Amino acid sequence: DAKTTQPPSMDCAEGRAANLPCNHSTISGNEYVYWYRQIHSQGPQYIIHGLKNNETNEMASLIITEDRKSSTLILPHATLRDTAVYYCIDLKAAGNKLTFGGGTRVLVKP
Amino acid sequence: NAGVTQTPKFQVLKTGQSMTLQCAQDMNHNSMYWYRQDPGMGLRLIYYSASEGTTDKGEVPNGYNVSRLNKREFSLRLESAAPSQTSVYFCASSETGQGSAEQFFGPGTRLTVL
């Protein structure tokens, strides 16, 4: 089973880009990389996902290395409301079962 | 659309008591999930239901039972609550599809077992 590793915490200045790294060196070829975030005590919120290609949506961009061993979530212009725990997750091929690790606690500072 | 709703929002139980956590979704999703989150930790999958009429164990199923009542509703039952089950419980739902499905989460039920 693939497993992801993330730094436990990072700070970011408001208005600047936040780059969140994730290592998933044992990910298999048909497993997607998903990013979720959890603001305070709310339920997790989907951000973005990808398989091989870089992806962008209204919330963020996802850059996946060519060997798929790591990825970076980019929040282009961080706001105070982006303060949250960000989870990088591998999606097992069967059953869409998410495996949450410890995540990265991101603090956006004014 | 309300999305995923959970009841109750808060609950306090005594050791040995039983209760059922309710979850409903109005997005016509096939798959539903129950997770628990202990303080400072990530979510762990308890049970999931890939489609109506089917349920399967997740990572931490001991002490729990589930019922997929219909396509909309997925309940989680604690038959004899223990202090170790003090946690926040999240329900989620998703479309069924191998390898690519966004999960939508409810607001959570905060359970304390004394």
**Residues sharing a CB contact under 8 Å with residue A37, sequence separation 6 or more, in sequence order:** A44, A45, A47, A82, A84, A85, A86, A87
Distance (Å) from the alpha carbon of A40 to chain B's nearest alpha carbon = 11
Residue window 7-66, chain B: list those with CB within 8 Å of chain A: 31, 33, 35, 41-45, 48, 50, 56, 58-59
Residue with tokens 């790294």: A21
Residue A1 reports pLDDT greater than 70: no
Contacts of B104 in chain A (CB under 8 A): 46
CA distance A108 to A67: 31
Model confidence band, residue B2 (pLDDT cutoffs 50, 70, 90): confident
Minimum CA–CA partner of B107 in chain A = A43
Nearest to B42 among A41, A46, A100 (CB): A100
Query: pLDDT of A5-16, one tens digit each?
Result: 999 999 999 999
Model confidence band, residue A95 (pLDDT cutoffs 50, 70, 90): low
Model confidence band, residue B97 (pLDDT cutoffs 50, 70, 90): low
CA max distance for chain A: 42
Tokens of B69: 């009542």
- Of B58, B54, B94, B46, which is closest to residue B70 (Cα–Cα)? B54
Residue B38 reports pLDDT greater than 90: yes
Burial class (CB in 10 A: 0-12, 13-18, 19+), A110: exposed
Chain B within 8 Å of A94 (Cβ-Cβ)?
yes
Residues forming beta bridges with residue B34, ordered by sequence position: B47, B91
**Residues sharing a CB contact under 8 Å with residue A67, sequence separation 6 or more, in sequence order:** none
Q: What is the DSSP string of B74-96?
A: EEEEESS--GGG-EEEEEEEE--
Residue B86 reports pLDDT greater than 80: yes
Total residue length of chain B? 114
Distance (Å) from the alpha carbon of A102 to chain B's nearest alpha carbon = 5
